Structure 1
Amino acid sequence: MPKTDTILSAKSLRYFLQLIDTMNYTQAAQILGITQPALTQQIKKLEHAIGAPLFGQMGKKLYLTEAGKEMQSAAVELLDTINSVVDDIQEFTQADKGSISVGVLDTIDIEIFRQFVVEFNKNYPRIQLNILTYNRQELWRRLDNNTIDLAIMYLPDNTKRDEINLQHQYDHMELFKDRLMILTHKDTVEAKQAYPISRFTRRKWVSYPEGSYLTQLMKDYFGDKNKPIVSLTFSKAKYLIETAQTTEYDTYISKSYYLAHKKDINLTPVYVKDDKDFEIAMVYRKGKVEIPRIKNLLEEWKKFLDKKDYSSRLE
């Protein structure tokens, strides 16, 4: 087998670029859904094929060698070419046949989108819809690698190192203007009013995990001088609420989740004064709307909301 067969493997290139993103074999392997030895073996094959190390190590930290930097540029260019070819081929596929993969941020409740998917399937039964949940970093990776067609996530998002990528490479459709909501046991606040975060700095919290979108918002609100006192973490809003309601801890969720589940919530919902705007959005690579079946999905989604808007469906 020629050495170039190894270098030009799309899988190998993605593994290589993922390791560059994390500079940590364990984290990269977890994101890729493989074992660390498998990732190590793949990198060694690439290094053997080109005859030079791609990574060096200083203490416990990895760094890119000069050969690694050259390989990074080539890998990005090659994968962009592959993605472009795939998009070109998909443009000629049928509008009512094929598959569409949708990645959803793991902290977003997808009940409304699930209802839409059921309706869409009735109209386009030959289109297979694959709905999968991921964290923010994995969503962007899969969008970049064209392994998902659409992503439902929060925007603005700082996961991307270069925000220009969002403007130049991606389009998005706003689904709902959302807002962070604190659920508290405090009896000195009024429901749905906004309060300075200083009113909550001494509270203990049930929180989303580190790195989650709403967790990052809370840390921004608290500022550098204060940190939320986190006692427990869960990745799902359902467990945050249930735990907060059976303890003395406060928690925080999105307004959209509160509207959909407020009948099951007995904590006081309040907002953070001068909070930041964000939205639930459908994000996709530019050019995706030229693929007939994806164009149909986006058009059907608009019709779905014309019948009853997102906010009304939440309640």
Structure 2
Amino acid sequence: MPKTDTILSTKSLHYFLQLIDTMNYTQAAQILGITQPALTQQIKKIEHAIGTPLFGQMGKKLYLTEAGKQLQTGAIKLLGTINSVVSDIQEFTQADKGNIAIGVLESINYDLLRKFLVEFNKNYPNITINVSYFNRKDLWYNLDNNLIDLAMLYLPETTKKSQSNLQNQYELMKVTQDRLTILTHDKNLEAGNSYPVSKFLGKRWVLYPDSFYLTQILKGKLGNKMNARNGLNVPLTFTSTKEMVDTAQDTGYDTIVSNSYYSLNQSQINLVPVFLKGIKKFTISLIYRKGKKEVPRIQNFLKEFKKFLEA
């Protein structure tokens, strides 16, 4: 048996992809539930089997080598195929057994899902639920390649590809409505009120990266009122909502969150929550491939989630 057969197992590839997600050995090991030396040894074994480094290091930061990028592509396809085969087999099993992988858009902080999963687990302890957070691009990639069963994201989407996928390949279940909330240092504004764009021009912001849905909404609205001299001033960006809000509170910068996040964490936030006039509410939905509802455990999950939301 070639040494790559034993080294490039599904487990080792999963470890490899998790390290890519964090680019930090300590964080990846914690997520995987193993020690950092064990993860380091596993990566070194893969590199030895392949014969070339998968990661390089610049200062304290890791980066993927060209070989690493090629293995990443192959690993995602391989694990996607395996997950698809396992999913097909489990379609013929009972509704109370199997695995469900859920991808959640990073900027969604929806505690109701967590509460439902706690209740669902009590009633169906033999169904394993895996929840992962992604940016929009990676979320769609994982959904397209069958690496996750369900995706929770904001709608309407802003990309033609997403709209096309929704119409031709996917079904959705509407979960709840949400809205963009501005957290501002301006004490002259009254919490919960809506204000025109003019109130927010010339401010400094700490935001999500440009690829995030909420940032696109804000820039789409404020951008129409900006000019070259008075552009949107964003000195800092974070993918973590908590880090973004904490930074806004430690500076004079304003920021944005979903209203659901603010409602859940308002006791720790000392900024004024207001809304921007002209921005409609958006819907949080569960997206899944057509035919997924025929899988007993998925059908059961969606049915129980709907009952939970209606209770």
Asked if Structure 1 and Structure 2 have the same fold, meaning a TM-score greater than 0.5 normalized by the shorter chain, the answer is yes
Query: Which residue is 1:38 aligned to?
Result: 68
Q: Normalising by structure 1, what TM-score?
A: 0.70
Pick closer, same or farther for the CA change 1:98–1:187 going to 2, 3 Å.
same
Summarize deviations over 1:224-252 as a string: whole Å, max 9, x none: 55242102111122122222112111111
Query: Which residue is 1:233 aligned to?
Result: 237
Equivalent residue runs for 1:302-313 within 5 Å = 302-307=306-311
How many pairs does the alignment contain?
247
Contact kept? 1:204, 1:230, Cα under 8 Å: yes
1:244 pairs with 2:248: yes
Query: Which residue is 1:178 aligned to?
Result: 178
Pick closer, same or farther for the CA change 1:104–1:81 going to 2, 3 Å.
closer
Contact kept? 2:110, 2:260, Cα under 8 Å: no
2:254 maps to amino acid? D
Equivalent residue runs for 1:268-287 within 5 Å = 268-287=272-291
Contact kept? 1:103, 1:132, Cα under 8 Å: yes
Pick closer, same or farther for the CA change 1:96–1:202 going to 2, 3 Å.
same
Query: Which residue is 1:23 aligned to?
Result: none
Pick closer, same or farther for the CA change 1:211–1:145 going to 2, 3 Å.
same
Summarize deviations over 1:192-241 as a string: whole Å, max 9, x none: 11111221110001111221111111110112552421021111221222
Q: Distance in 1 between matches of 2:178 and 2:108?
A: 11
Please state whether the residue corresponding to 2:285 is helix, strand or coil: strand
Summarize deviations over 1:175-200 as a string: whole Å, max 9, x none: 11111010111133221111112211
1:289 pairs with 2:293: yes
Q: Distance in 2 between matches of 1:35 and 1:297?
A: 40
Q: Distance in 2 between matches of 1:233 and 1:275?
A: 22
Pick closer, same or farther for the CA change 1:182–1:133 going to 2, 3 Å.
same
Query: Which residue is 2:145 aligned to?
Result: 145
Contact kept? 1:87, 1:288, Cα under 8 Å: no
Query: Which residue is 2:157 aligned to?
Result: 157
Shift of residue 40, structure 1, vs aligned partner: 4.8
Shift of residue 128, structure 1, vs aligned partner: 0.8
Query: Which residue is 1:62 aligned to?
Result: none
Summarize deviations over 1:117-157 as a string: whole Å, max 9, x none: 11111111111111111111111011111110001111111
1:38 maps to amino acid? G
Contact kept? 1:194, 1:270, Cα under 8 Å: yes
Pick closer, same or farther for the CA change 1:92–1:270 going to 2, 3 Å.
same
Pick closer, same or farther for the CA change 1:202–1:281 going to 2, 3 Å.
same
Q: Distance in 2 between matches of 1:40 and 1:268?
A: 47
The alignment yields a C-alpha RMSD, in angstroms, of: 3.2
Q: Distance in 2 between matches of 1:168 and 1:146?
A: 16
1:274 maps to amino acid? G
Q: Distance in 2 between matches of 1:42 and 1:174?
A: 33
Please state whether the residue corresponding to 2:161 is helix, strand or coil: coil
Please state whether the residue corresponding to 2:68 is helix, strand or coil: helix
**Farther-moved stretch of structure 1 (103-112 vs 118-127):** 103-112
Contact kept? 1:179, 1:254, Cα under 8 Å: yes
Summarize deviations over 1:48-68 as a string: whole Å, max 9, x none: xxxxxxxxxxxxxxxxxxxxx
Pick closer, same or farther for the CA change 1:247–1:197 going to 2, 3 Å.
same
Please state whether the residue corresponding to 2:257 is helix, strand or coil: strand
Query: Which residue is 2:31 aligned to?
Result: none
Shift of residue 41, structure 1, vs aligned partner: 7.6
Query: Which residue is 1:262 aligned to?
Result: 266
Q: Distance in 2 between matches of 1:82 and 1:245?
A: 45
Please state whether the residue corresponding to 1:300 is helix, strand or coil: helix
Pick closer, same or farther for the CA change 1:261–1:211 going to 2, 3 Å.
same
Pick closer, same or farther for the CA change 1:299–1:42 going to 2, 3 Å.
closer
Contact kept? 1:137, 1:159, Cα under 8 Å: no
Identity %: 51
1:122 pairs with 2:122: yes
1:244 maps to amino acid? A
Pick closer, same or farther for the CA change 1:204–1:95 going to 2, 3 Å.
same
Contact kept? 2:110, 2:261, Cα under 8 Å: no
Contact kept? 1:244, 1:251, Cα under 8 Å: yes
Q: Distance in 1 between matches of 2:71 and 2:261?
A: 43
Please state whether the residue corresponding to 2:130 is helix, strand or coil: strand
